[in-house]
Amino acid sequence: MTDDAPIRIAVIGSGPAGFYAAGHLLSAKDRDIEVDMIERLPTPWGLVRSGVAPDHPKIKSVTRVYEKTAAHARFRYYGNVELGRDVDREDLLAHYHAVIYATGAPGDRPLGIPGEDLRGSWPATDFVGWYNGHPDNRDLDFDLSCERAVVIGNGNVALDVARMLTLSHRELRLTDTANHALEGLEGSAVSEVVVVGRRGPAQAAFTNPELLELGEMEDVDVIVDAQELERALQVPDESMDPTAERNVKVLRQYAARAPRGRSRRIVLRFLLSPAELVDDGQGAVSGVVLQRNELVADERGMLRAQTTGQTETLSAGLVLRAIGYRGRPLPGVPFDESRAVIANEGGRVVDPDGTRCRGEYAVGWIKRGPTGVIGTNKKDAQETVDAVLADIDAGMLHEPESPDADSVQEMLEQRQGDLVSYEGWSEIDRHERALGEPAGRPRVKLTDIEQMLRIAAAEQPADEPLDTLGLR
Protein backbone atom coordinates (compact mmCIF):
# COMPACT_ATOMS: atom_id res chain seq x y z
CA MET A 1 0.00 0.00 0.00
CA THR A 2 1.47 3.37 -0.97
CA ASP A 3 0.70 6.45 1.10
CA ASP A 4 -1.46 8.08 -1.57
CA ALA A 5 -3.32 4.96 -2.77
CA PRO A 6 -6.84 4.56 -1.41
CA ILE A 7 -7.71 1.83 1.04
CA ARG A 8 -10.18 -0.43 -0.70
CA ILE A 9 -12.81 -2.23 1.36
CA ALA A 10 -15.49 -4.72 0.28
CA VAL A 11 -18.75 -4.87 2.23
CA ILE A 12 -20.64 -8.10 1.54
CA GLY A 13 -24.40 -7.61 1.97
CA SER A 14 -26.50 -4.48 1.52
CA GLY A 15 -28.77 -4.64 4.58
CA PRO A 16 -28.72 -2.08 7.40
CA ALA A 17 -25.46 -3.41 8.86
CA GLY A 18 -23.65 -3.25 5.51
CA PHE A 19 -24.92 0.25 4.76
CA TYR A 20 -24.12 1.61 8.23
CA ALA A 21 -20.62 0.14 7.97
CA ALA A 22 -20.16 1.71 4.52
CA GLY A 23 -21.47 5.05 5.79
CA HIS A 24 -19.11 5.07 8.80
CA LEU A 25 -16.14 4.15 6.59
CA LEU A 26 -16.86 6.83 4.00
CA SER A 27 -17.32 9.54 6.62
CA ALA A 28 -14.14 8.66 8.56
CA LYS A 29 -12.10 11.86 8.82
CA ASP A 30 -8.88 12.26 6.82
CA ARG A 31 -9.12 8.76 5.31
CA ASP A 32 -9.09 7.89 1.67
CA ILE A 33 -11.31 4.83 1.82
CA GLU A 34 -13.24 3.37 -1.14
CA VAL A 35 -16.11 0.97 -0.54
CA ASP A 36 -17.47 -1.65 -2.93
CA MET A 37 -20.70 -3.28 -1.78
CA ILE A 38 -21.47 -6.77 -3.05
CA GLU A 39 -25.08 -8.03 -2.82
CA ARG A 40 -26.47 -11.38 -3.95
CA LEU A 41 -29.79 -9.89 -5.10
CA PRO A 42 -30.19 -7.21 -7.74
CA THR A 43 -32.04 -5.18 -5.06
CA PRO A 44 -30.45 -3.68 -1.93
CA TRP A 45 -31.60 -3.07 1.70
CA GLY A 46 -31.68 -6.68 3.05
CA LEU A 47 -34.50 -7.19 5.55
CA VAL A 48 -35.68 -3.61 5.20
CA ARG A 49 -37.03 -4.73 1.83
CA SER A 50 -37.66 -8.41 2.55
CA GLY A 51 -38.34 -8.55 6.31
CA VAL A 52 -40.00 -5.36 7.59
CA ALA A 53 -43.75 -5.86 7.38
CA PRO A 54 -45.49 -4.26 4.37
CA ASP A 55 -47.87 -2.34 6.66
CA HIS A 56 -44.88 -0.53 8.22
CA PRO A 57 -43.91 1.81 5.36
CA LYS A 58 -42.48 4.49 7.67
CA ILE A 59 -39.82 2.12 8.96
CA LYS A 60 -38.71 1.45 5.41
CA SER A 61 -37.98 5.14 4.88
CA VAL A 62 -34.69 4.52 6.71
CA THR A 63 -33.39 3.63 3.23
CA ARG A 64 -33.08 7.38 2.54
CA VAL A 65 -30.05 7.35 4.83
CA TYR A 66 -28.57 4.45 2.87
CA GLU A 67 -29.29 6.25 -0.42
CA LYS A 68 -27.06 9.08 0.76
CA THR A 69 -24.26 6.62 1.41
CA ALA A 70 -24.80 5.06 -2.02
CA ALA A 71 -24.49 8.48 -3.66
CA HIS A 72 -20.97 8.92 -2.28
CA ALA A 73 -18.28 9.27 -4.96
CA ARG A 74 -16.14 6.59 -3.29
CA PHE A 75 -18.99 4.01 -3.17
CA ARG A 76 -19.80 1.34 -5.80
CA TYR A 77 -22.65 -1.19 -5.71
CA TYR A 78 -22.43 -4.62 -7.34
CA GLY A 79 -25.84 -6.29 -7.22
CA ASN A 80 -26.53 -9.87 -8.32
CA VAL A 81 -23.11 -11.04 -7.07
CA GLU A 82 -23.08 -13.74 -4.42
CA LEU A 83 -20.16 -14.62 -2.20
CA GLY A 84 -19.91 -18.41 -2.54
CA ARG A 85 -21.50 -18.49 -6.02
CA ASP A 86 -19.78 -15.81 -8.14
CA VAL A 87 -16.81 -14.92 -5.96
CA ASP A 88 -15.08 -16.59 -3.03
CA ARG A 89 -13.17 -15.42 0.00
CA GLU A 90 -9.80 -15.69 -1.79
CA ASP A 91 -11.03 -13.49 -4.67
CA LEU A 92 -11.98 -10.81 -2.18
CA LEU A 93 -8.70 -11.02 -0.30
CA ALA A 94 -6.83 -10.74 -3.62
CA HIS A 95 -8.47 -7.37 -4.32
CA TYR A 96 -9.30 -5.64 -1.05
CA HIS A 97 -7.40 -4.39 2.00
CA ALA A 98 -10.37 -5.39 4.13
CA VAL A 99 -13.57 -7.40 3.72
CA ILE A 100 -16.58 -6.81 5.96
CA TYR A 101 -19.14 -9.62 6.02
CA ALA A 102 -22.67 -8.23 6.50
CA THR A 103 -24.69 -11.18 5.22
CA GLY A 104 -27.38 -11.30 7.91
CA ALA A 105 -29.03 -14.46 9.24
CA PRO A 106 -31.38 -15.79 6.57
CA GLY A 107 -31.90 -19.31 7.98
CA ASP A 108 -34.45 -20.53 10.47
CA ARG A 109 -34.27 -22.40 13.76
CA PRO A 110 -36.04 -25.73 13.98
CA LEU A 111 -38.25 -26.63 16.95
CA GLY A 112 -37.03 -30.23 16.95
CA ILE A 113 -40.47 -31.76 17.65
CA PRO A 114 -42.35 -34.58 15.91
CA GLY A 115 -44.48 -33.44 12.96
CA GLU A 116 -42.44 -30.32 12.29
CA ASP A 117 -42.03 -31.28 8.62
CA LEU A 118 -45.73 -31.87 7.94
CA ARG A 119 -47.36 -29.93 5.11
CA GLY A 120 -48.74 -26.68 6.52
CA SER A 121 -45.90 -26.31 9.04
CA TRP A 122 -43.53 -23.53 8.00
CA PRO A 123 -40.75 -21.42 9.39
CA ALA A 124 -41.95 -17.81 9.62
CA THR A 125 -38.83 -16.90 7.60
CA ASP A 126 -40.48 -18.47 4.52
CA PHE A 127 -43.81 -16.74 5.08
CA VAL A 128 -42.11 -13.38 5.62
CA GLY A 129 -40.04 -13.80 2.44
CA TRP A 130 -43.16 -14.83 0.52
CA TYR A 131 -45.32 -11.85 1.44
CA ASN A 132 -42.38 -9.51 0.95
CA GLY A 133 -41.61 -10.83 -2.54
CA HIS A 134 -38.12 -12.25 -1.84
CA PRO A 135 -37.11 -14.08 -5.05
CA ASP A 136 -36.14 -17.18 -3.02
CA ASN A 137 -39.67 -17.50 -1.59
CA ARG A 138 -41.95 -16.26 -4.35
CA ASP A 139 -42.96 -19.73 -5.52
CA LEU A 140 -43.92 -21.11 -2.11
CA ASP A 141 -47.45 -22.36 -1.89
CA PHE A 142 -49.16 -21.42 1.38
CA ASP A 143 -52.48 -23.15 1.88
CA LEU A 144 -54.63 -20.58 3.68
CA SER A 145 -57.87 -22.53 3.42
CA CYS A 146 -57.95 -23.38 7.15
CA GLU A 147 -59.73 -21.33 9.80
CA ARG A 148 -57.07 -21.36 12.50
CA ALA A 149 -53.35 -20.68 12.28
CA VAL A 150 -50.94 -21.09 15.18
CA VAL A 151 -47.82 -18.94 15.47
CA ILE A 152 -45.12 -20.23 17.80
CA GLY A 153 -42.95 -17.58 19.51
CA ASN A 154 -43.40 -14.32 21.37
CA GLY A 155 -41.17 -11.95 19.39
CA ASN A 156 -41.94 -9.16 16.95
CA VAL A 157 -41.75 -11.53 13.97
CA ALA A 158 -44.61 -13.55 15.52
CA LEU A 159 -46.68 -10.34 15.73
CA ASP A 160 -45.76 -9.37 12.15
CA VAL A 161 -46.98 -12.66 10.71
CA ALA A 162 -50.10 -12.66 12.92
CA ARG A 163 -50.96 -9.18 11.61
CA MET A 164 -50.27 -10.10 8.00
CA LEU A 165 -52.70 -13.02 8.32
CA THR A 166 -55.46 -10.80 9.71
CA LEU A 167 -55.16 -7.39 8.00
CA SER A 168 -58.32 -6.40 6.16
CA HIS A 169 -58.27 -6.28 2.36
CA ARG A 170 -58.43 -2.50 2.53
CA GLU A 171 -55.40 -2.35 4.82
CA LEU A 172 -53.45 -4.84 2.70
CA ARG A 173 -54.16 -3.06 -0.57
CA LEU A 174 -52.36 0.05 0.61
CA THR A 175 -49.11 -1.86 1.12
CA ASP A 176 -46.26 -3.18 -1.02
CA THR A 177 -47.15 -6.80 -0.18
CA ALA A 178 -46.01 -8.88 -3.17
CA ASN A 179 -48.87 -9.36 -5.60
CA HIS A 180 -48.85 -13.17 -5.36
CA ALA A 181 -49.21 -12.84 -1.55
CA LEU A 182 -51.87 -10.16 -1.85
CA GLU A 183 -53.94 -12.56 -3.92
CA GLY A 184 -53.28 -15.45 -1.51
CA LEU A 185 -54.08 -13.41 1.60
CA GLU A 186 -57.25 -11.96 0.09
CA GLY A 187 -58.50 -15.47 -0.58
CA SER A 188 -57.55 -16.67 2.90
CA ALA A 189 -60.07 -18.41 5.17
CA VAL A 190 -57.95 -17.89 8.28
CA SER A 191 -60.13 -16.15 10.85
CA GLU A 192 -58.18 -16.91 14.03
CA VAL A 193 -54.47 -16.68 14.71
CA VAL A 194 -53.23 -18.03 18.04
CA VAL A 195 -49.82 -16.69 19.09
CA VAL A 196 -48.20 -19.03 21.59
CA GLY A 197 -45.44 -18.09 24.05
CA ARG A 198 -43.55 -20.69 26.06
CA ARG A 199 -43.00 -18.22 28.92
CA GLY A 200 -45.16 -15.40 30.31
CA PRO A 201 -46.14 -11.90 29.18
CA ALA A 202 -43.34 -10.34 31.25
CA GLN A 203 -40.77 -12.40 29.32
CA ALA A 204 -42.20 -11.79 25.84
CA ALA A 205 -39.83 -10.13 23.35
CA PHE A 206 -42.55 -7.89 21.85
CA THR A 207 -41.87 -4.16 21.72
CA ASN A 208 -44.64 -1.82 22.91
CA PRO A 209 -45.73 -0.21 19.61
CA GLU A 210 -46.03 -3.63 17.95
CA LEU A 211 -48.20 -5.01 20.77
CA LEU A 212 -50.36 -1.86 20.88
CA GLU A 213 -50.82 -1.96 17.12
CA LEU A 214 -52.77 -5.24 17.33
CA GLY A 215 -55.50 -3.43 19.21
CA GLU A 216 -55.74 -0.80 16.48
CA MET A 217 -56.33 -3.17 13.60
CA GLU A 218 -59.41 -2.51 11.52
CA ASP A 219 -61.18 -5.85 11.68
CA VAL A 220 -59.49 -7.81 14.49
CA ASP A 221 -60.44 -8.64 18.06
CA VAL A 222 -57.45 -9.26 20.32
CA ILE A 223 -58.21 -11.97 22.83
CA VAL A 224 -56.26 -12.53 26.06
CA ASP A 225 -57.57 -14.80 28.80
CA ALA A 226 -57.35 -12.86 32.08
CA GLN A 227 -56.86 -16.00 34.20
CA GLU A 228 -54.07 -17.36 32.02
CA LEU A 229 -52.43 -13.93 31.98
CA GLU A 230 -52.44 -13.56 35.76
CA ARG A 231 -51.26 -17.15 36.26
CA ALA A 232 -48.31 -16.38 34.01
CA LEU A 233 -47.53 -13.30 36.11
CA GLN A 234 -47.59 -15.09 39.47
CA VAL A 235 -43.84 -15.65 39.63
CA PRO A 236 -42.22 -12.20 39.95
CA ASP A 237 -39.56 -11.43 37.33
CA GLU A 238 -36.73 -9.41 38.84
CA SER A 239 -35.32 -8.60 35.39
CA MET A 240 -38.53 -6.94 34.10
CA ASP A 241 -37.67 -3.74 32.19
CA PRO A 242 -40.00 -0.80 31.34
CA THR A 243 -40.85 -2.37 27.96
CA ALA A 244 -42.04 -5.56 29.67
CA GLU A 245 -43.97 -3.57 32.26
CA ARG A 246 -45.78 -1.65 29.53
CA ASN A 247 -46.46 -4.88 27.63
CA VAL A 248 -48.11 -6.35 30.74
CA LYS A 249 -50.27 -3.23 31.09
CA VAL A 250 -51.37 -3.45 27.46
CA LEU A 251 -52.12 -7.17 27.79
CA ARG A 252 -54.25 -6.52 30.87
CA GLN A 253 -56.21 -3.95 28.85
CA TYR A 254 -56.74 -6.52 26.09
CA ALA A 255 -57.88 -9.09 28.67
CA ALA A 256 -60.46 -6.63 30.03
CA ARG A 257 -61.85 -5.79 26.57
CA ALA A 258 -65.04 -7.46 25.38
CA PRO A 259 -64.73 -8.84 21.81
CA ARG A 260 -66.31 -6.44 19.32
CA GLY A 261 -67.57 -8.99 16.83
CA ARG A 262 -64.81 -8.35 14.31
CA SER A 263 -64.32 -10.91 11.54
CA ARG A 264 -60.85 -12.00 12.68
CA ARG A 265 -59.22 -12.73 16.04
CA ILE A 266 -55.65 -12.72 17.30
CA VAL A 267 -55.45 -14.80 20.49
CA LEU A 268 -52.39 -14.33 22.69
CA ARG A 269 -51.56 -17.40 24.81
CA PHE A 270 -48.81 -17.94 27.38
CA LEU A 271 -46.96 -20.71 29.23
CA LEU A 272 -47.39 -23.19 26.38
CA SER A 273 -44.67 -25.08 24.46
CA PRO A 274 -45.37 -27.04 21.28
CA ALA A 275 -44.69 -30.72 21.89
CA GLU A 276 -45.90 -32.23 18.62
CA LEU A 277 -47.68 -31.32 15.40
CA VAL A 278 -50.62 -33.60 14.63
CA ASP A 279 -50.81 -35.38 11.25
CA ASP A 280 -54.23 -35.33 9.56
CA GLY A 281 -53.46 -38.79 8.15
CA GLN A 282 -52.44 -37.39 4.78
CA GLY A 283 -49.19 -35.72 5.70
CA ALA A 284 -50.64 -32.34 6.54
CA VAL A 285 -50.79 -30.64 9.91
CA SER A 286 -54.18 -30.65 11.64
CA GLY A 287 -53.24 -29.45 15.11
CA VAL A 288 -50.62 -28.69 17.71
CA VAL A 289 -50.13 -30.50 21.00
CA LEU A 290 -49.12 -27.89 23.55
CA GLN A 291 -47.48 -28.60 26.88
CA ARG A 292 -48.49 -26.37 29.77
CA ASN A 293 -45.55 -24.73 31.50
CA GLU A 294 -44.77 -23.04 34.76
CA LEU A 295 -41.99 -20.53 35.33
CA VAL A 296 -39.01 -21.53 37.44
CA ALA A 297 -35.93 -19.45 38.23
CA ASP A 298 -32.60 -20.92 37.15
CA GLU A 299 -29.35 -20.51 39.12
CA ARG A 300 -28.93 -16.99 37.67
CA GLY A 301 -32.46 -15.95 38.57
CA MET A 302 -33.68 -16.15 34.91
CA LEU A 303 -37.24 -17.44 34.59
CA ARG A 304 -37.39 -20.56 32.43
CA ALA A 305 -40.36 -22.56 31.17
CA GLN A 306 -40.78 -25.96 32.79
CA THR A 307 -43.49 -28.37 31.74
CA THR A 308 -46.25 -29.23 34.22
CA GLY A 309 -46.96 -32.49 32.40
CA GLN A 310 -50.40 -31.26 31.30
CA THR A 311 -51.19 -30.84 27.62
CA GLU A 312 -53.87 -29.37 25.40
CA THR A 313 -54.40 -29.75 21.65
CA LEU A 314 -55.35 -26.89 19.35
CA SER A 315 -56.66 -27.70 15.90
CA ALA A 316 -54.86 -25.74 13.16
CA GLY A 317 -54.18 -26.11 9.44
CA LEU A 318 -51.24 -23.71 9.40
CA VAL A 319 -48.36 -23.51 11.88
CA LEU A 320 -45.70 -20.80 11.61
CA ARG A 321 -42.57 -21.15 13.72
CA ALA A 322 -41.41 -17.64 14.63
CA ILE A 323 -38.72 -18.68 17.10
CA GLY A 324 -35.82 -16.77 15.58
CA TYR A 325 -33.62 -16.61 12.50
CA ARG A 326 -30.23 -18.33 12.15
CA GLY A 327 -26.94 -17.32 10.53
CA ARG A 328 -25.45 -19.42 7.73
CA PRO A 329 -21.73 -20.06 7.22
CA LEU A 330 -19.93 -18.46 4.28
CA PRO A 331 -17.50 -20.75 2.42
CA GLY A 332 -14.05 -20.60 4.00
CA VAL A 333 -14.98 -18.03 6.67
CA PRO A 334 -14.62 -19.21 10.31
CA PHE A 335 -18.06 -19.94 11.77
CA ASP A 336 -19.14 -20.42 15.36
CA GLU A 337 -21.74 -23.20 14.98
CA SER A 338 -23.04 -22.92 18.54
CA ARG A 339 -24.04 -19.25 18.07
CA ALA A 340 -24.46 -19.47 14.28
CA VAL A 341 -22.35 -16.36 13.71
CA ILE A 342 -19.02 -15.67 12.00
CA ALA A 343 -16.40 -16.27 14.70
CA ASN A 344 -15.31 -12.77 15.72
CA GLU A 345 -14.07 -10.61 18.54
CA GLY A 346 -15.68 -7.18 18.47
CA GLY A 347 -16.10 -7.51 14.70
CA ARG A 348 -12.60 -8.89 13.92
CA VAL A 349 -12.89 -12.36 12.38
CA VAL A 350 -10.91 -15.02 14.27
CA ASP A 351 -9.88 -18.60 13.46
CA PRO A 352 -11.06 -21.43 15.73
CA ASP A 353 -7.67 -21.26 17.51
CA GLY A 354 -8.29 -17.57 18.26
CA THR A 355 -5.85 -16.20 15.64
CA ARG A 356 -7.00 -13.00 13.90
CA CYS A 357 -7.90 -13.30 10.22
CA ARG A 358 -6.16 -10.18 9.04
CA GLY A 359 -8.35 -7.88 6.95
CA GLU A 360 -11.62 -9.74 7.69
CA TYR A 361 -14.48 -8.32 9.74
CA ALA A 362 -18.15 -9.00 10.48
CA VAL A 363 -21.11 -6.75 11.21
CA GLY A 364 -24.84 -7.00 11.95
CA TRP A 365 -26.77 -10.23 12.45
CA ILE A 366 -23.97 -12.44 11.11
CA LYS A 367 -21.67 -10.89 13.74
CA ARG A 368 -23.87 -10.87 16.84
CA GLY A 369 -26.85 -13.15 16.06
CA PRO A 370 -30.39 -12.45 14.84
CA THR A 371 -31.59 -9.90 17.37
CA GLY A 372 -31.93 -6.15 17.39
CA VAL A 373 -33.83 -3.57 15.42
CA ILE A 374 -32.50 -1.65 12.42
CA GLY A 375 -30.90 1.06 14.57
CA THR A 376 -28.99 -1.53 16.63
CA ASN A 377 -26.87 -2.19 13.56
CA LYS A 378 -25.65 1.40 13.43
CA LYS A 379 -23.85 1.17 16.76
CA ASP A 380 -22.73 -2.34 15.93
CA ALA A 381 -21.26 -1.10 12.62
CA GLN A 382 -19.43 1.66 14.48
CA GLU A 383 -17.68 -0.97 16.61
CA THR A 384 -16.58 -2.92 13.53
CA VAL A 385 -15.49 0.20 11.64
CA ASP A 386 -13.55 1.43 14.69
CA ALA A 387 -11.70 -1.90 14.61
CA VAL A 388 -10.93 -1.43 10.89
CA LEU A 389 -9.68 2.13 11.44
CA ALA A 390 -7.53 1.06 14.40
CA ASP A 391 -6.05 -1.74 12.28
CA ILE A 392 -5.29 0.74 9.47
CA ASP A 393 -3.44 2.92 11.99
CA ALA A 394 -1.57 -0.06 13.37
CA GLY A 395 -0.56 -1.23 9.87
CA MET A 396 -2.55 -4.42 10.52
CA LEU A 397 -4.70 -4.52 7.38
CA HIS A 398 -4.33 -7.17 4.75
CA GLU A 399 -2.08 -6.57 1.68
CA PRO A 400 -4.00 -7.58 -1.48
CA GLU A 401 -2.24 -8.57 -4.72
CA SER A 402 -4.40 -6.38 -7.01
CA PRO A 403 -5.98 -3.56 -5.05
CA ASP A 404 -6.90 -1.30 -7.98
CA ALA A 405 -10.59 -0.68 -8.64
CA ASP A 406 -10.42 -1.62 -12.34
CA SER A 407 -9.12 -5.11 -11.65
CA VAL A 408 -12.12 -5.83 -9.40
CA GLN A 409 -14.51 -4.55 -12.03
CA GLU A 410 -12.86 -6.85 -14.59
CA MET A 411 -13.06 -9.87 -12.31
CA LEU A 412 -16.72 -9.28 -11.46
CA GLU A 413 -17.65 -8.78 -15.10
CA GLN A 414 -15.99 -12.09 -15.93
CA ARG A 415 -17.77 -13.93 -13.11
CA GLN A 416 -21.24 -12.45 -13.47
CA GLY A 417 -22.50 -11.35 -16.87
CA ASP A 418 -25.49 -9.60 -15.30
CA LEU A 419 -23.97 -7.22 -12.79
CA VAL A 420 -26.49 -4.75 -11.40
CA SER A 421 -25.08 -1.29 -10.70
CA TYR A 422 -26.68 1.21 -8.35
CA GLU A 423 -28.14 2.92 -11.42
CA GLY A 424 -29.58 -0.46 -12.45
CA TRP A 425 -31.25 -0.78 -9.04
CA SER A 426 -32.56 2.78 -9.41
CA GLU A 427 -34.26 1.68 -12.65
CA ILE A 428 -35.91 -1.21 -10.79
CA ASP A 429 -36.94 1.17 -8.00
CA ARG A 430 -38.47 3.67 -10.44
CA HIS A 431 -40.27 0.87 -12.27
CA GLU A 432 -41.75 -0.59 -9.06
CA ARG A 433 -42.91 2.81 -7.81
CA ALA A 434 -44.50 3.61 -11.17
CA LEU A 435 -46.41 0.31 -11.06
CA GLY A 436 -47.73 1.05 -7.57
CA GLU A 437 -48.59 4.69 -8.05
CA PRO A 438 -51.99 4.40 -9.83
CA ALA A 439 -53.32 2.22 -6.98
CA GLY A 440 -51.87 4.40 -4.21
CA ARG A 441 -49.39 1.69 -3.27
CA PRO A 442 -45.75 2.53 -2.43
CA ARG A 443 -44.60 0.10 -5.12
CA VAL A 444 -45.40 -3.18 -6.82
CA LYS A 445 -42.40 -5.38 -6.13
CA LEU A 446 -40.68 -7.32 -8.86
CA THR A 447 -39.94 -10.80 -7.57
CA ASP A 448 -38.41 -12.51 -10.59
CA ILE A 449 -34.65 -12.06 -10.96
CA GLU A 450 -34.72 -12.27 -14.78
CA GLN A 451 -37.31 -9.51 -14.95
CA MET A 452 -35.31 -7.38 -12.50
CA LEU A 453 -32.23 -7.81 -14.69
CA ARG A 454 -34.13 -6.70 -17.78
CA ILE A 455 -35.44 -3.61 -16.02
CA ALA A 456 -32.03 -2.85 -14.52
CA ALA A 457 -30.60 -2.95 -18.03
CA ALA A 458 -33.45 -0.60 -19.10
CA GLU A 459 -34.71 -3.17 -21.60
CA GLN A 460 -38.39 -2.89 -20.68
CA PRO A 461 -40.46 0.28 -20.59
CA ALA A 462 -41.89 1.32 -17.21
CA ASP A 463 -45.40 1.90 -18.59
CA GLU A 464 -46.78 -1.62 -18.57
CA PRO A 465 -50.60 -1.85 -18.40
CA LEU A 466 -52.01 -1.97 -14.89
CA ASP A 467 -55.32 -2.79 -13.34
CA THR A 468 -56.67 -0.73 -10.45
CA LEU A 469 -54.79 -2.75 -7.82
CA GLY A 470 -51.47 -2.27 -9.51
CA LEU A 471 -51.64 -6.06 -10.00
CA ARG A 472 -50.33 -7.28 -13.30
Ligand X SMILES: Cc1cc2nc3c(=O)[nH]c(=O)nc-3n(C[C@H](O)[C@H](O)[C@H](O)COP(=O)(O)OP(=O)(O)OC[C@H]3O[C@@H](n4cnc5c(N)ncnc54)[C@H](O)[C@@H]3O)c2cc1C
Pick one of ligand X, ligand NAP, none as the site partner of residue 334 (Cβ within 5 to 8 A by kind). none
Alpha-helical regions (H) of 80-178: 89-95, 124-131, 156-166, 169-173
Q: Which is nearer to ligand X, 226 or 373 (CB)?
A: 373
Query: Which segment (102-110, 301-309, 437-445, 459-467) binds ligand X by CB under 6 A?
Result: 102-110
Phi then psi for residue 317, to 5 deg, are: -100, -5
Rounded CA-CA distance 383/25 in Å is 11
Contact pick of 38, 93, 205, 319 for ligand X (by CB under 6 A): 38
Nearest-angstrom CA–CA distance, 248 and 254: 10
Q: Could you tell me where the beta strands, DSSP code E, fall in 215-350? A: 220-224, 264-269, 272-279, 285-297, 303-315, 318-321, 325-326, 335-336, 341-342, 344-345, 348-350
Residue 152 binds: one of ligand X, ligand NAP, none (C-beta under 5 to 8 A by kind) = ligand NAP
If one asks whether residue 296 binds ligand X (CB under 6 A), the answer comes out as no
4 by Cβ neighbours in 10 Å (0-12 / 13-18 / 19+) ranks as exposed
Examine residue 156 and tell whether it contacts ligand NAP (CB under 6 A): yes
Instruction: Tell me which stretch binds ligand X (CB under 6 A): 49-57, 225-233, 280-288, 424-432.
Output: 49-57
Least distance (Å) between residue 464 CB and ligand X: 26
Asked if residue 239 binds ligand NAP (CB under 6 A), the reply is no
**Of residues 84, 215, 332, 369, which one binds ligand X by CB under 6 A?**
84
3-state secondary structure of 41: coil
Give how many residues touch ligand X by CB under 6 A: 35
140 SS3 class? coil
Q: Of the two residues 47 and 456, which places its CB atom closer to ligand X in the complex? A: 47
18 binds, among ligand X, ligand NAP, none (CB under 5 to 8 A by kind): ligand X
Between residue 361 and residue 400, which ones bind ligand X under the rule CB under 6 A?
364-365, 372-374, 376-377
Phi-psi region of 84 (alpha: psi -120 to 50; beta: other; left: phi over 0): left
Q: CB neighbours of 319 closer than 8 A, spacing ≥ 6?
A: 120, 121, 122, 149, 150, 151, 152, 274, 277, 285, 288
Residue 453: CB minimum distance to ligand NAP, A = 30
Q: Is residue 12 a contact residue for ligand X (CB under 6 A)?
A: yes
**Residue closer to ligand X, measured from CB, 175 or 293:** 175
Q: State which of residues 67, 82, 219, 280 lies at the interface with ligand X (CB under 6 A).
A: 82
Q: For ligand X, which residue of 5, 27, 32, 59 counts as binding (CB under 6 A)? A: 59
| 207-236 binders of ligand NAP (CB under 6 A) | 207, 210
CB 94 within 8 A of CB 77: no
- For position 373 contacting ligand NAP by CB under 6 A, the verdict is yes
